[in-house]
Structure 1
Amino acid sequence: MKRHLVVRALSRTLTLVPLYRRSCTSFSTASSSFAIKNVTRSNFSSSLADLRRHVRDSDFVSIDLEMTGVTSSPWRESFEFDRFDIRYLKVKDSADKFAVVQFGVCPFRWDSTKQSFVAHPHNFYIFPRQEIGGDDSCYEFLCQTSSIDFLAKYQFDFNVCIKEGISYLSRAQEDDVRLQLHSAYEDDPLESPCTTKEIKDVPLVRMADILFVERMRNKITEWHDNLLQIRTGSHKTPENYNDSVDQFQTIFFRTRPAIKLNGFTSRQQRLIKSVVEKSFKDLAYIRVTDGSCLQQTIVYTDSKRDLEMLMKEVKENRIKEAEMKIEAAIGFRHVIDLLSSEQKLIVGHNCFLDIAHICRKFVGPLPPNLEEYVPLVQKHFPFIIDTKILLNANNILQLKMKKSSTSLAKAFAILCPHIASGVGSFGSALNNSVAVEVQVDDMRSSNWNSGAKHEAGYDAFMTGCIFAQSCNHLGIDFTSQTMLMKENKLQSYINLLYLSWSSGDIVDLKTGQTRTETSALSGFKNQQTKILFPNIVLIWGFSSKLKAREIKDSLTKVFGLTSVTSIFHLDKTAVFVQFSKPELVSDFLKLKSTIEKKNDAIYVLHPFSDLLEGGLTRAACYEVYKEICASPISKTLFADQAEAVGLDSKLFGNTAHKTDPLADSESTIDTKTSETTGEMLGLVSC
């Protein structure tokens, strides 16, 4: 059984351009041993500037992500009994709960002079650190033990990720933070955002407070009077007015005389503020940012107009500082904004989950259904191609793959042997393949291969190489001025993504339509039974000792030998049962309800006795499964999940009126045509 751990972040952390633009730059041709470009907080700014140039000049950009997990519960795995909308809900749950810790971006540009592609692989470490105020829950995520173990197996550096990973804000988070900060400054320009709720008039309830206030008033009065005497010329200017412990330090704030307050507690600061506001009309108490902390300052103004100007300056400066903080907190999302604004062809391998993570982490919360999700993706990434679909759906590429597995590593080894083996351009000539050179900073090689599988940057590189070779096998002319996303030979594959590779379910991002691609299943055992969702009933909460064969036997004894076509376990206490006819679903639910209401001793001999033993067995139609999958809760067992969602109480509560004759009479109504019975059974749109 997989364990899941909640991890709290350690601190609060595409306009079209000419496609074949070329630049003449000299690079050193180095050995193939140089490392991939790893990007962390320390080199993000400079790397982003380089990446902007590479993306704008690119013909396509390949991506890959590494996450902390995939499924939050065993029953959230992808099953053959999952409908299209259910598959989306499971992917949504994964994108909601797990973090992206590594993001690979690899722009590919066709070099017409060398007749080869130039790839720029980047491996970004990212971490959802809270750098600025906002919803704390956005910085929590799950870790799936098997996924963390997998990352560790391939030498993933967790220390670099957590300590040096680039933080980010989604567009939705940015909007929220910007609104919060600006609202705070609009409400009170002299108050810091975190102190806008402070009470200006602090009650003096302790003798120590009274004595402190009087002492502060005297000190400020002395400084104030001395300042006025200096201004009138009746007093010699002292060098400064610093006290012995430097709690009062004379400074100039925007050319105005001021006192910088040091070493006071927050309560003492509030008391001093109260003194200034009550006793000195020409002094202003303000808070300004000094490095990483807020500095309390008393500033002298020589007129009401001067005070208004000071207030305006402070407000404008704070807004400017807030904008800078927000800009810095956006972090890695600048890369996503770049890919979106440039509208390049995005290439991934089996990338539906990757795209969902990108939208969730860098755009905002995912919509509740696939129909709303599709236009969201199209808005930000109008051209996406999945190399796994390309390899499975194209006859030429299927021959090249020799009907082998289309996993990333296998496809790379078969289609790009000259790159996988490090032979480079020499091997590409022998194999009639397109050459790919790799450039990292000023290092460039035609036989580069880091071999770091399951490193996001390298996997993105492999994905791009597979796509380049696929295009070459399809006879696409790279020297043409036609952009790849407009290439006729690719139109049948662009914006098609696998909802589930194992089932061959595909969503067309252009139309929102879904379908099952049978060619994708050629390497798998053919489905024995056609899945008919109206024929499916969901049963859970029975004894874990019961096996599928025993459940089928109990059902066929009542409804006939051919009544059950298949049974599929979600986990040890939950199953899908597909009946041969849809009306058998309602017949089963009615009979189960009747048995539980009567509760007669004779029913101990009923074929359902083992299935219903213990009184915790629940059953519902397929739509209830959708309701459970849509919940953000994730319990390990499906039965516990149903209870947590509240379905158990609805089902039990609506069938518990054993002495109500009306309830008994309703149990005989045909559930297929009666909403009343559906409500009685706790069903949802069955």
Structure 2
Amino acid sequence: MEITKHTFNEQLDSILTAIEESTFLAIDGEFTGLDAEGCSHIAPFDTPEERYLKLRHGSTDFMLIQFGLCAFKVDEEKRIYEAKPYNFYVFPRPSSRNAPDRRFMCQSSSLDFLICNGFDFNKLIKEGISYLSLEQEHKMKAELERKHAEQKNRSASSVLSPDGANSKKMPLPVPDDQKEFLTDICERISVFLEGDDEELKLQSCNAFQRKLVYQTVEEKYPLVHLQTKTGEKKERFLVVQRAKDAEDLEKKEQEKQALEKMELDLQVGFTKVIKAITKSGKLVVGHNMFLDIIHSMNQFHSVLPYNLVDFKAMVKTVFPRLLDTKLLANTPPLKDFMTYTSLNDLQETMQSKPFSPVPVKPAPGFDLYNSGSVALHEAGYDAYITGCCFATMCKFL
């Protein structure tokens, strides 16, 4: 099932349920590049620490742009697995002025490879699901709480001290070149207050001008409520609403704050899926998954540490149970039956003797990948195939 920003929220509950009810999970990722400046070439005699540092240095400027998740649930009665594969497009679209505006690298060969395998970059940018790392979420939540607390204190101060004595910050001085702008705004608001319109949309203006408008309106129009909104072309403008009394003004402010909290929740986006995987404690399976884990931690949790010990400790808090099918395939007794261990080769090996494929059927509504379909290097499909291979390996062992 393909998931974009348009379907994410309506499908979220069913995704979380699939994770919680699963027997195990399989994941995969697709990236904008693999190796910055050729600096992360892995040598045969690298220590685990050296390998981690090379991958950290050579890959974290790139971005994971497609996340594949497949939830496998065993049906004991029918002795088959039911699979729910999801293919998420993820893109760090800033939804507000305070949201992170991610810079990232691309590698031409990687983009060409993805295009050749059917990747839709227009869909990624237009419809990718937003996300925040855990660090970014905590920072933005703290900033929003601080902003709301300041507004509450300002409202309380204006009630206790209507003249504003000892209760307000020093006002911003109004530059001469902004006085005409503010005069025009005040005239428009005065006309609006005398009419019957429910709200007044002011012209687009910059951040400094918006601060001046907020300051001026608070002083001149105590029963006017202002709200900053963003248009379709990302322009920011002010909307003016009248309040009947102080209680109505407080109600409008509470509605505004509730909307800001909802916008932050939407910005968290795909990270909710990672949190659900963590909470479930389920086994997470991947194929050659070191880069998948590195990017997942870096994008959805926090900045990667500079040593392997701390990295492993951090990973364990997010993915407490991990298993790599490539490592499993290169370990006896399975190693004796493997010629090559790429995912495609592994899938072919699992369908020949001495292996016997475990029956896997897509759940209703998840028929994007069936036994006859091939969509290699689409993250959802690769996660599905990884899980199928893992189930067959377990049966053999």
Give the TM-score taking structure 2 as reference length.
Answer: 0.83
Q: Pairwise CA RMSD of aligned residues? A: 3.4
Residue 82 of structure 1 aligns with an amino acid whose one-letter code is D
1:117 corresponds to which of 81, 88, 92:
81
What CA deviation, in whole Å up to 9, does each residue of 1:619-648 have, x standing for no partner?
A: xxxxxxxxxxxxxxxxxxxxxxxxxxxxxx
Closer/same/farther in 2, CA of residues 250 and 374 from structure 1, 3 Å limit: same
Q: Is the 8 A contact 1:98 1:143 kept in 2?
A: yes
TM superposition shift of 1:298: 4.7
- 2:114 equivalent to 1:151: yes
Query: Residue in 1 aligned with 2:341?
Result: 406
- 2:317 equivalent to 1:379: yes
Closer/same/farther in 2, CA of residues 329 and 417 from structure 1, 3 Å limit: farther
Query: Residue in 2 aligned with 1:168?
Result: 131
CA distance in 2, matches of 1:317, 1:54: 33
CA distance in 2, matches of 1:373, 1:208: 55
What CA deviation, in whole Å up to 9, does each residue of 1:271-325 have, x standing for no partner?
A: 7766655566xx3343136685541235453xxxxx3x45643443333222101
TM superposition shift of 1:150: 1.1
TM superposition shift of 1:449: 3.1
Closer/same/farther in 2, CA of residues 94 and 129 from structure 1, 3 Å limit: farther
Residue 350 of structure 1 aligns with an amino acid whose one-letter code is N
CA distance in 2, matches of 1:298, 1:375: 54
Query: Residue in 2 aligned with 1:331?
Result: 269
Q: Is the 8 A contact 1:167 1:330 kept in 2?
A: yes
Q: Is the 8 A contact 1:69 1:148 kept in 2?
A: yes
CA distance in 1, matches of 2:276, 2:287: 21
TM superposition shift of 1:94: 4.0
1:97 alignment partner, SS class: coil
1:366 alignment partner, SS class: coil
TM superposition shift of 1:120: 1.3
Q: Is the 8 A contact 1:273 1:285 kept in 2?
A: no
Q: Is the 8 A contact 1:182 1:319 kept in 2?
A: no
TM superposition shift of 1:187: 2.3
Q: Is the 8 A contact 1:41 1:166 kept in 2?
A: yes
Closer/same/farther in 2, CA of residues 69 and 212 from structure 1, 3 Å limit: closer
With CA pairs under 8 Å and 6+ residues apart, which has the higher RCO, 1 or 2?
A: 2
2:227 corresponds to which of 288, 308, 311:
288
Closer/same/farther in 2, CA of residues 63 and 296 from structure 1, 3 Å limit: same
Larger Rg: 1
Closer/same/farther in 2, CA of residues 440 and 366 from structure 1, 3 Å limit: farther
1:439 corresponds to which of 348, 363, 371:
363
2:106 alignment partner, SS class: strand
Tell me whether 73-82 or 266-275 shows the greater mean CA deviation: 266-275
- 2:180 equivalent to 1:209: yes
Give the unaligned 5+ runs of structure 2. 156-168, 232-236
Q: Is the 8 A contact 2:325 2:386 kept in 1?
A: yes
Q: Is the 8 A contact 2:358 2:395 kept in 1?
A: yes
Closer/same/farther in 2, CA of residues 96 and 315 from structure 1, 3 Å limit: farther
CA distance in 2, matches of 1:223, 1:456: 53
Closer/same/farther in 2, CA of residues 102 and 363 from structure 1, 3 Å limit: same
Determine what percentage of the aligned residue pairs are the same residue.
31
TM superposition shift of 1:365: 0.6
The count of aligned residue pairs is: 377
- 2:32 equivalent to 1:68: yes
Show the 5 A alignment for 1:122-141. Answer: 122-134=86-98, 136=100, 139-141=102-104
CA distance in 1, matches of 2:192, 2:81: 72
Give the unaligned 5+ runs of structure 1. 1-36, 192-197, 225-240, 243-248, 252-259, 302-306, 419-429, 475-686
Residue 296 of structure 1 aligns with an amino acid whose one-letter code is V
2:77 alignment partner, SS class: coil
Closer/same/farther in 2, CA of residues 223 and 159 from structure 1, 3 Å limit: closer
What CA deviation, in whole Å up to 9, does each residue of 1:539-588 have, x standing for no partner?
A: xxxxxxxxxxxxxxxxxxxxxxxxxxxxxxxxxxxxxxxxxxxxxxxxxx
CA distance in 2, matches of 1:41, 1:207: 40
Q: Is the 8 A contact 1:61 1:464 kept in 2?
A: yes
Query: Residue in 1 aligned with 2:72?
Result: 108
